[in-house]
Amino acid sequence: MLKTTLAGLAAHKLRLLLTALAITLGVGFIAGTFVLTDSMKSGVNKTFARSADKVDVAVLPKANAADDLPASLLARVRGVPGVTAAEGIVKGDAALVGRDGKAVGDMPTVGMSVPSGRLLRYDVDGGRIPNGPTEAVLDTHLAKREKFKVGDSVTVLDSKSRPRRFTVVGLVDMGMDQDVSFRGGVGFDAATAAAMTGEKKLTEIDVLGGSRDAVASAVGTRYDALTGSQLAQRLAKANGADTKVIQSGLLIFGFVAMLVSALVIYNTFAILIAQRMREMALLRCVGATRRQVFGGVLTEAVVVGLVGSLLGLGAGFALGAGALALIGSFDTGMALASPELAVRTVAVALLVGVVVTVLSALLPARAATRVAPVAALRADLEPGSGRFRLGWFRTAVAVLFGSGGLALGGYGALGMDKGEMAMYLVALAGMLFFLGVVAGMPALVRPLGRLVGAIPAKLGGVPARLAVSNAQRAPRRTATTTIALTIGIGLMSLFAVVAASGTATANAQLDKHFPVDFQVESQFGGHADGANRTVPRDLVARLRGLPQLDQVTDAREAGRPKSGDRDTTVTTVTESSFGRLLKLTAESGTVGAPAPGTVIVDHASAKQYGYRVGQTIQVKGDRGSAPLRVAGIFGGDTPLHGVVVGASDFDRISAVRDSATVWAKAKKGVEVDDARRAVEDATRGYPTIKVASMAEMRDQLTQAVNTLLLVFGGLLGLAIVIALFGIANTLSLSVVERTRESALLRALGLTRRQLRRMLSVEALVMSVIGALTGVVLGLGFGWAATKAMAASAVFAVPYAQIIGFIALAGVAGVIAAVLPARRAAKASVVESLSSG
């Protein structure tokens, strides 16, 4: 029986390759994910190993501890017997001013000390390390992005926002530091770094000479003393966390790809078994047992899975290498290595591919054992072409899971408190309902086929009507073929709806609660614990005096704010803005401008800390506290959060006089662009102050959402490609199955072109059935997910994208039918009629 199975595979190499290709794509994605992330992690590890090898001992705060090292600890370490050199690392904020006079980036660049001699752990790409109060080095990637080079003069702001001029004496690759990679870095000698950042403590002490135990004994148990290899492991682990997130995210899409592959493989084997009924029956006639027939089909599945997995492994390696090359072409500062193919990757790829293929073949293999030997003596009708019944089991599963999914989805969207748990319940409901759709899909094929095929049947003549009939002829086969496409289109539709709804919600809340034109804020985020972290009072006064602006509102935040013993923001806002620029929605009490002795609180803080209207709470600021009564609780998505107090009460508990954020509205009749130029001119002398228009913020939000959707679409595109390949595979096998039928149609006058059109329309109908089902699922559960997010969520449908998904599926389906249609058209009429 084994020889017979292997001989059958050898005799049908094309069939073997077509069957293996679906598993190749799924395994390739998983293998490519491992190759990419393993290579990234290896690059990180090698970089940190090479860097940490330059120190004998490193002293750091305990893992996950917030405290830095006191400067006095450095002298203690230098006094350890055997220590020949020890340097402390200073790190803080030091904003680099760009060529346009504004601080670089949305966050201040990192100012840090650069060690000298053997303790220099960074790669110097040009020039030398800094020495003295007027010299600095720039992170290589930052210098390239901002077009600075060795010899240039740059301006850097110190901790009090005072400008200092430095000469760039070198370019240093600081890419191994996550913070620098994100924000950019400026390096100084240790004394200058401390003066620029205002930091009194150290983030790390690097040591040459001495033993780890001796250094550990000197610094005590409060801090970690690590060897060079231990330091490398700790740094690599901290910086390698990103690769784990990337790997987990990509593997989710790999799972979707494998699920779609399983459906394609199952359908392929089901068709192959149906086509080989007489062959199976003949084997039974000559003595093969049911077990041998079952084993033969599973053996074929193992071979197909192994071939597909090996091909997928090669494709995955190429995919990972291509992704590494693409990442390397950008100036990301990320450590990369050459593509790596780990033993784990090989084992997982082969195991997943073979197991998925064998599991997918179990039901068709079981069907093969039911073929009666007498069937070899007659020619049965095409399987599935007779009268179709869903069956009691499928009906029960479809009703149970479908109704359960609808009930849970409805409860999550409408019956639960909005938030994370409600969204999880909606996700569970979506999975249940999808299982119900899978079970009941065969019953939907014929009515959906009539609906989808109505226009093609009218416009395409006899070939199109035959195509629609063919798509409806075998409901189980068509359902299994199209459900694979339903998964991909459904997920893409879901993401598109959630993204559009999120954008619409944000815009609606901005328009409703905060109809302003501009937002002015410090690059440092507005926290009042440094002079350069806020918008100065004189700038706020200057903005209020601009004739192009109608109203200017500012918000002050208390330095290191606490309410009782709980961390929460304490804010005061210009009182005249309430009801005009600020339109808060009251959940309880009164939410206008807080009167003296009262506060208003946002919904999230009230829920978290148990605040209620009429309750008196002790509100603490940076210089005092006051008992204040809760006058109201407000909801909705607004820029205000935490505890909002009146100006007089704020001045009692806080010394902060500068603003965290300023909002402004252009005067009626003034062009927004003219108002923007006036605001920019007013802030020109303040390098760290950033001006953003609400239109820009909306555009940035829309762009971010569209980028995210593009990434998801690209990853889910693999599942759609596999599903379309399943359609092509189904048509290819169906062409073989309907050889005599196609020849008879040709003999009755159907031309080659009409035959190709018939198969193309059949693929079109199947693709659109799958796409429509996916779109309905995506829209339905996109609505439920949107409603589960927040009470203020706005449901929006991106009609253009949805129509695009359906059109794309239809076009891709027609393209997938090209090769099967050409094969059918080329077949000889006489030979085809005489076969079988």
Q: Which helix (H) or strand (E) holds 774?
A: helix 752-789
Return the pLDDT at 390.
Answer: 75
Tokens of 571: 């804010």
Task: Please count the other Cβ atoms lying within 10 Å of the Cβ belonging to residue 460.
Answer: 20
Q: What's the chain's Rg over C-alpha atoms?
A: 34
Rounded to 10 deg, the angle between the 739-747 and 752-789 helix axes is 130
**Is the pLDDT at 382 greater than 60, yes or no?**
no
Q: How is 340-392 classified by DSSP, letter by letter? A: ---HHHHHHHHHHHHHHHHHHHHHHHHHHTT--GGGGGS-PPPTT-S-----H
**Is the pLDDT at 594 greater than 90, yes or no?**
yes
Distance in angstroms (rounded) separating the CA atoms of residues 708 and 719: 17
Long-range contacts (CB closer than 8 Å, 24 or more residues apart) made by 286-291: 288/1, 290/369, 291/369
Distance in angstroms (rounded) separating the CA atoms of residues 440 and 158: 67
What pTM did the predictor assign? 0.73
- Work out whether strand 661-666 and strand 518-522 pair parallel, antiparallel, or are unpaired: antiparallel
Selected residue with higher pLDDT from 14 and 439: 439
Considering only CA atoms, which of 230, 237, 239, 219 is closest in space to residue 86? 219
- What is the tens place of the pLDDT at every residue in 461-482? 888 898 888 888 888 888 888 8
Q: Highest mean pLDDT: which of 254-258, 306-310, 823-827?
A: 306-310
Distance in angstroms (rounded) separating the CA atoms of residues 468 and 764: 9
Q: Cβ distance 499 to 129 under 8 Å?
A: no
Kindly state the DSSP code that residue 419 receives in the 8-state scheme: S
Residue 278 — pLDDT band, cuts 50, 70, 90?
low
Question: Mean pLDDT over residues 329-355, rounded?
Answer: 78
The angle at the Cα of 250, spanning 246 to 256, to the nearest 5 degrees, equals 160
The CB-side HSE value for 709 (13 A sphere, CA atoms) comes to 23
**Is the pLDDT at 616 greater than 90, yes or no?**
yes
Return the pLDDT at 320.
Answer: 83
598: Cα separation from own chain's centroid: 43
Which residue spans within 406-450 are E strands per DSSP?
none
Return the pLDDT at 381.
Answer: 44
In this prediction, what percent of the chain has a pLDDT beyond 70? 88
Tokens of 820: 């099967």
Distance in angstroms (rounded) separating the CA atoms of residues 67 and 221: 14
Question: Mean pLDDT over residues 41-66, rounded?
Answer: 77
Return the pLDDT at 418.
Answer: 82
- What is the tens place of the pLDDT at every residue in 625-680? 899 999 999 986 677 888 999 999 999 999 888 998 999 988 888 888 899 899 99
722: Cα separation from own chain's centroid: 21
Residue 777 — pLDDT band, cuts 50, 70, 90?
very high
- What is the tens place of the pLDDT at every residue in 154-189? 999 998 888 999 999 999 987 667 778 778 899 999
SS3 240: coil
**Averaged pLDDT score across all residues of the chain:** 83
Q: Which residues contact 720 (CB under 8 A, 6 or more apart)?
A: 485, 488, 489, 492, 809, 812
Residue 387 — pLDDT band, cuts 50, 70, 90?
low
Rounded to 10 deg, the angle between the 461-473 and 420-459 helix axes is 140
Return the pLDDT at 239.
Answer: 65
In this prediction, what percent of the chain has a pLDDT beyond 90? 23
- What is the tens place of the pLDDT at every residue in 180-238? 877 889 999 999 999 999 998 898 899 998 889 999 999 888 888 988 888 877 777 76
Task: Please count the other Cβ atoms lying within 10 Å of the Cβ belonging to residue 811.
Answer: 12
Selected residue with higher pLDDT from 252 and 655: 655
Distance in angstroms (rounded) separating the CA atoms of residues 794 and 498: 10
Task: Please count the other Cβ atoms lying within 10 Å of the Cβ belonging to residue 84.
Answer: 11
**Is the pLDDT at 272 greater than 80, yes or no?**
no
Q: Cβ distance 567 to 558 under 8 Å?
A: no
Return the pLDDT at 833.
Answer: 65
SS3 481: helix
Tell the residue number behind the tokens 């084992």, with chain if given. Answer: 347
Considering only CA atoms, which of 351, 360, 396 is closest in space to residue 34? 351
Distance in angstroms (rounded) separating the CA atoms of residues 64 and 17: 52
Return the pLDDT at 700.
Answer: 72
Distance in angstroms (rounded) separating the CA atoms of residues 765 and 449: 7
Selected residue with higher pLDDT from 149 and 161: 149
Amino acid of residue 519? Q
Return the pLDDT at 834.
Answer: 64
> Cα dist. 830→400, 541, 755, 825 in Å?
51, 93, 16, 13
Return the pLDDT at 331.
Answer: 57
Return the pLDDT at 188.
Answer: 95
Distance in angstroms (rounded) separating the CA atoms of residues 184 and 162: 19
Question: Mean pLDDT over residues 733-746, rounded?
Answer: 75
Tell the residue number behind the tokens 């994208």, with chain if given. Answer: 801
3-class SS shares of the chain: helix, strand, coil, % to 5 = 60, 15, 25
Distance in angstroms (rounded) separating the CA atoms of residues 807 and 771: 9
Q: Which residues contact 264 (CB under 8 A, 6 or more apart)?
A: 22, 481, 484, 722, 723, 725, 726, 729
Question: Mean pLDDT over residues 262-271, rounded?
Answer: 76
Q: Cβ distance 47 to 176 under 8 Å?
A: yes
Return the pLDDT at 528.
Answer: 40
Residue 384 — pLDDT band, cuts 50, 70, 90?
very low
Distance in angstroms (rounded) separating the CA atoms of residues 231 and 229: 5
Tell the residue number behind the tokens 């930091």, with chain if given. Answer: 199
Return the pLDDT at 90.
Answer: 92
Kindly state the DSSP code that residue 575 receives in the 8-state scheme: G
Q: How far apart are the first and last CA of the chain?
A: 24
Amino acid of residue 27? V
* Phi, psi (degrees; rounded to nearest 5) at 592: -80, -165
Selected residue with higher pLDDT from 240 and 773: 773
- What is the tens place of the pLDDT at every residue in 519-532? 898 886 644 444 45
